[in-house]
Each structure stands twice: as structure tokens, then as C-alpha cells.
Amino acid sequence: MKINKIKEMSSPDLEKELSELKSELFKLRFNLAANGLDNPVKIREVKKDIARIKTVLNERELSDNK
């Protein structure tokens, strides 16, 4: 997911997307442990998307507190 797309989303949408990505990451890790993945790089991509969303949410929180 691109950072521009993330910044355009509202905070409730980002929270929803964050929870979906966390559940997807859990499923990917479970599948990796159980029987392997076709594309193990997908875990890295999901983790980076989670970090991007958390960064944008934190930036918004800090700007609201000022």
C-alpha cells in the first residue's frame, strides 16, 4: 500500500485497515509454520504496511495534541 493512499484515508478507516492487516499477518505466520508459504515476502510487505499505518496515525495524534 502506498503512503499517499494511506494519508488520504480517515483515521477510523486506518484503524479498520490496521486490524485487517494484523489478522492477515497472523494467518500468514500460521501458514508459514504449518505448511510453508508460496511467497514468504508477503509477510514483510504486510509488516511494512502496518508500520506505515501506525506512523500516519501517530503523526495525526501528535498534530492534534499541539
pLDDT 10s digits, 33-65? 999 888 999 999 999 999 999 999 999 999 988
Specify the pLDDT at position 43: 96
Whole-number Å distance between alpha carbons of 13 and 60: 13
38: DSSP letter: S
Q: Cell for 13?
A: 478507516
- Count of other CB atoms within 10 angstroms of residue 5: 9
pLDDT confidence of residue 1? 81
Q: What was the pLDDT predicted at 42? A: 96
The model carries a pTM of 0.91
Domain boundaries, the chain: 3-65
Give the pLDDT confidence score for residue 66 in this predicted structure. 75
Q: Of all helices (H) and strands (E), which one includes residue 36?
A: none
Question: If you classify domain 3-65 with CATH, what class do you get?
Answer: mainly alpha
